[in-house]
Amino acid sequence: MSNFVISVFGTDRPGIVASVSKALFESGCDVRDVSQTTLQTEFAGIFVVCAPESLDLAGLARKLEEDLIPYGLAVFVKPMGAGKADAHAGKSEPFVITAMGPDRLGLVAGITEVMAGFGVNIVNLKAIFRGGDDPRRNIMIYEVNIPYGLDQAEFRDALTRRAEELELDLSIQHRDIFEEINRI
Amino acid sequence: MLTEREVLSTLEMLKSEHLDVRTVTLGVSLLDCSSHDPDIFMTRIREKILSLAKDLVKICNEVGDKYGIPVVNKRISVSPVAVIGAGLSSKDLVKTARVMDQSAEEVGIDFIGGFSALVEKGLARGDLSLIEAMPEALSETKRVCASVNVASTRAGINMDAVYLMGKTIKSAAQASASSDGLACAKICVFANIPQDIPFMAGAYLGIGEPDAVINVGVSGPGVVKKAIDRARAAKESLHLGELSEIIKRTAYKVTRVGELIGREVASRLEVPFGVVDLSLAPTPNVGDSVGEIFQSLGLGCIGVPGSTALLAMLNDAVKKGGAFASSYVGGLSGAFIPVSEDLNIAEAAEKGFLTIEKLEALTSVCSVGLDMVAIPGDTSPETISAIIADEMAIGVMNKKTTAARLIPVPGKKAGEKAFFGGLLGEATIISVRDGESHDFIRMGGRIPAPIQSLVN
């Protein structure tokens, strides 16, 4: 049995997940994880599947392309990485970093460069840029894992400095505060 | 995965609605500091406060940074000084207040409470010494706060103590005349005082409390007001039941913040977590006002007819939401209406909508009523005592806490302004009907406990 990762992209409409899962079913693939999101008009889905031994990467890719390209969907298939899924678990703390401000080029690049430099892993990102100077129209929300042992003050300082350079209002807060306030 | 709405609504509460933890108060038991030798007694007090509280401010700031929620005030409450220093003279207790003040300064906090006595059933020697020490102690120190419990549902009202406090408040005002009677802003007279109040000036650590404990005072009038404003903007026809539900949900959120931060501070200080006090505590900042909630709920200002009913609903909704959010609720847990500390309430007093009598009525449905009320400097001790007695009666008969923090501003008359500075704010002096209560107050004795005290 081989594990594959399948990414599917296309303009959102009813029936995309049904089309993909039908093709996978007909190929004998066992779906292990699925996640989808839509950004503006565009759908993106990622499927982790376990394929039968008789089906190789090229065969699976061919089958999916035959079934999905006619519906205007783009497909990308790759073998599953070898790393453990929970490689960071227990070694980091979850924080939420929010940044908002006037729109300009390089905001995500500027912020994420600092995160990468400190080994801070992004586990979820939602960014909306509608342009203009209204901060509420240009927002980035990063859910990140900050490794234990990292000098948090130094990380905060570096990130805050970068945010100031980019004219962003930035907050770094432990994830628990959002859960405590919003969820029972 | 958090939703965008969860993140942004939380940020909004922080950035524009003054969501914060109003106070993290470290309770420090001083019962083991007693000594017949005043010097040993004071040395022990200083050493114990410094050893337990040396990291309080640093830890509160670190935890505040971690969650992005500021801990506005870090404070200390101690065992009632009248109990632990019962054998000392009033002069030694003034020195004790100075030691408390210096210790508070050394650990970087702005107020230390517990210069207190519990006298609802009678005045012991230590109580008399402490009350005698109050005018000098509170006018010569910056950070020390005092409270005296003169009444309880179980004991009735100690009218001798009420009269003594009327006279003491007058003396304290004179002793701090150059600052508009500021010493009186640090004296609270209580009925049914809780043992675990984190808020000043009434905070002290009860006899039944642990050696050290963290109590948290949450706040959030700005958050409640904005939630009401948003709901009413979205749907004009909301009725009061629906608005009460919105207040309840908001109080839940605010309380969760206090609980989370309080528990982490307690854990890092390695002391037990005590209670969350669910009080809506305002500051003199625009947007952080209990009075503004009255306007959001359709009254012209606090004090007009309808105010008592509105406050009853507000207070009840806050308690219901908060009680669900925290396992241990205590302290005062009710809306505060401190006249000088709330810009909007101070304005209502200035315009004449808020009288002593209306404040007293509001007390029947909230935690403290006559709070930071500036009255004319020539008000007699008997009239001050009579106002206190009325306030105590509401607490005693309704099995609830009430308190009076009255400031007879030396040399100033009704309509003039008193300035206390900082969080204590400024207030227009409210007129008082003086001179008709003297005989009643001078009778003294103890008003017996009411029939509702017989609950066993």
What is the rounded CA–CA span in Å between residue B12 and residue A171? 12
> Across all residues in chain B, what is the average pLDDT?
93
Closest CA to A155 of A100, A105, A181, A116: A116
Query: ∠ CA(B57), CA(B61), CA(B63), 5° rounding?
Result: 120
The residue type of B432 is V
The whole-number average pLDDT for the span B418-427 is 85
Summarize pLDDT for B102-121 with one digit per residue, the tens. Answer: 999 999 999 999 999 999 99
Closest chain A residue to B63 measured between Cα atoms? A174
**What's the rounded mean pLDDT across residues A19-42?**
92
Identify all chain A residues contacting B9, using CB atoms and an 8 Å cutoff: 182
Measured CA to CA, the distance from residue B153 to residue B193 in angstroms comes to 11
Is there a contact between A174 and B67 if contact means CB atoms under 8 Å apart? yes
Q: Which residues contact B28 (CB under 8 A, 6 or more apart)?
A: B48, B49, B52, B53, B76, B77, B78, B79, B205, B211, B212
**B10 at the A interface (CB within 8 A)?**
yes
CA distance B263 to chain A (A): 13
| Alpha carbon of B345: minimum distance to chain A alpha carbons (Å) | 29
How many angstroms separate the CA atoms of B145 and B202, rounded?
7
Contacts of B1 in chain A (CB under 8 A): 124, 143
Give the closest-approach CA distance of A176 to chain B in angstroms: 8
Q: pLDDT tier at B204 (50, 70, 90 boundaries)?
A: very high
Residues in A closer than 8 angstroms to B259, CB to CB, are 180
Question: Looking at beta carbons, which residues of chain B come within 8 Å of A171?
Answer: 11, 14, 68
Using the predicted structure, report yes or no on whether residue B288 has a pLDDT greater than 70: yes
Q: Residue A181: its chain B contacts at CB < 8 A?
A: 6, 10, 13, 253, 256-257
- HEC sequence for chain B: CCCHHHHHHHHHHHHHCCCCEEEEEEEECCHHHCCCCHHHHHHHHHHHHHHHHCCHHHHHHHHHHHHCCCEEEEEEEECCHHHHCCCCCHHHHHHHHHHHHHHHHHHCCCCEEEEEEECCCCCCHHHHHHHHHHHHHHHHCCCEEEEEEEEECCCEEEHHHHHHHHHHHHHHHHHCHHHCCHHHHHEEEEECCCCCCCCCCCCCCCCCCCCEEEEEEECCHHHHHHHHHHHHHHCCCCCHHHHHHHHHHHHHHHHHHHHHHHHHHHHHHCCCEEEEECCCCCCCCCCCCHHHHHHHCCCCCCCCCCHHHHHHHHHHHHHHHHHHHCCCEECCCCCECCCCCCHHHHHHHHCCCCCHHHHHHHHCCCCECEEEEEEECCCCHHHHHHHHHHHHHHHHHCCCCEEEEEEEECCCCCCCEEECCHHHCEEECCCCCCCCCHHHHHCCCEECCCHHHCCC
CA-based nearest distance A119→chain B, Å: 18
Q: What is the pTM of this model?
A: 0.89
Six-digit token pair at B206? 């009860």
Nearest-CA distance from A65 to chain B in Å?
A: 31
Please tell me the predicted confidence (pLDDT) of residue B424.
Answer: 82
Q: Is A175 on the interface with B (CB under 8 A)?
A: yes
Inter-chain touch B257–A139, beta carbons under 8 Å? no
Does the pLDDT value for residue B97 go beyond 80? yes
Helical (H) or strand (E) element with A7 = strand A2-11
The yes-or-no verdict on residue B394 having pLDDT over 70 is yes
> What residue has token string 């204590």?
B424
Provide, rounded to the nearest whole percent, the portion of chain B with pLDDT above 70.
100
Confidence of residue B215 (pLDDT cuts 50, 70, 90): very high
Is pLDDT at A158 greater than 90 in this prediction?
yes
Pick the closest to residue A48 from A65, A24, A23 (CA basis): A24
* ipTM tops 0.90: no
What's the CA gap between B197 and B371, in Å, rounded? Answer: 15
Interface test with B, best of A146, A178, A179 (most B CBs within 10 A): A178
Task: Find chain A residues with C-beta within 8 A of B14's C-beta.
Answer: 171
Closest CB to A178 among B6, B65, B259: B6
For position B35, what pLDDT does the model report?
Answer: 93
Which amino acid makes up residue B412?
K
Q: Which residues of A touch B256 (CB under 8 A)?
A: 180-181
CA-to-CA separations, A56 to B103, B326, B436, in angstroms, rounded: 75, 56, 100
**Amino acid present at A42:** E
| Residue in B6, B65, B260 nearest the CB of A182 | B6
- Which of A126, A141, A181 has the CB atom closest to B257's CB atom? A181
Chain B within 8 Å of A11 (Cβ-Cβ)? Answer: no
Look at residue A84 in the predicted model and tell me its pLDDT: 62
Q: For residue B198, give the nearest of B78, B38, B25 by alpha carbon.
A: B25
Across the interface, of A98, A126, A174, the residue whose CB is closest to B66 is: A174
When pLDDT is averaged across residues B18-26 and rounded to a whole number, the result is 91
B-chain residue closest to A135, CA distance:
B8
Residue length, chain A? 184
Banded model confidence at residue B278, pLDDT cuts 50, 70, 90: confident
Whether B192 has a pLDDT exceeding 80, the answer reads yes
Mean local confidence (pLDDT), A22-31: 92
Cβ–Cβ gap A172/B67 under 8 Å: no
Please give the span between the terminal C-alpha atoms of chain B, in angstroms, as a whole number. 52
Question: A-chain residues within 8 Å CB-CB of B250?
Answer: none
Mean pLDDT over B348-372 rounds to 89
Nearest one of A179, A96, A107 to A141, comparing CA atoms: A96
Per residue in A81-140, pLDDT (tens digit) is 876 655 555 589 999 999 999 998 899 999 999 999 999 999 999 998 888 888 778 899
Query: What is the distance between the alpha carbons of residues B270 and B210, in angstroms, rounded to a whole number?
Result: 13
Q: Write down the pLDDT at residue A87.
A: 54
Q: Tell me which chain A residues have a C-beta less than 8 angstroms from the C-beta of B4.
A: 126, 139, 141
Inform me whether the pLDDT recorded for B405 exceeds 80.
yes
- Encoded amino acid at B126, one letter: G
Q: Does B58 touch chain A (CB under 8 A)?
A: no
Say if CB B151 and CB B158 are below 8 A apart: yes
What is the tens place of the pLDDT at every residue in B218-245? 877 889 999 999 999 999 899 999 999 9
Cα–Cα distances in angstroms (integers) from residue B337 to residues A5, B325, B372, in the given order: 61, 23, 9
Min Cα–Cα distance to chain B from A37, Å: 13
Angle at B291 between CA B287 and CA B295, to 5 degrees: 90
Residue A103, amino acid: D
Reported as a single tens digit per residue, the pLDDT across A37-89 is 999 999 999 999 999 988 888 989 999 999 999 889 999 999 988 766 555 55
Structure tokens, B253: 């959120």
Q: Is A171 in CB contact (< 8 Å) with chain B? A: yes
**Whether B260 contacts chain A with CB within 8 A:** yes
Please answer whether residues A184 and A171 qualify as being in contact, where contact means their C-beta atoms are separated by less than 8 angstroms: no
Give mean pLDDT, residues B249-273. Answer: 94
**Residue A173 contacts B, CB cutoff 8 Å:** yes
Which residues in chain B (96-115) have CB-CB distances under 8 A to chain A? Answer: none
- B357 interfaces chain A, CB cutoff of 8 Å: no
Report, as an integer, the average pLDDT of A168-172: 94
| Residues pairing with B409 in the sheet | B376
Interval B309-336 mean pLDDT: 91
- Angle, helices B307-325 vs B356-363, to 10°: value is 40
Whole-number pLDDT of residue B214: 97
For B51-66, write each residue's pLDDT tens digit: 999 999 999 999 999 9
Write out chain B residues lying below 8 Å of A179, CB-based.
2
Q: If DSSP states are collapsed to H, E and C, what string results for B317-344?
A: HHHHHHHHHCCCEECCCCCECCCCCCHH
A98 to B11: CB separation less than 8 angstroms, yes or no? yes
Residue A80 distance to chain B (closest CA, Å):
23
Spatial separation of the C-alpha atoms in residues A127 and A100, rounded to whole Å: 10
Which pairing describes strands B156-158 and B144-152: parallel, antiparallel, or unpaired? antiparallel
Q: Is residue B254 pLDDT above 80, yes or no?
A: yes
pLDDT for the residue A56 = 87
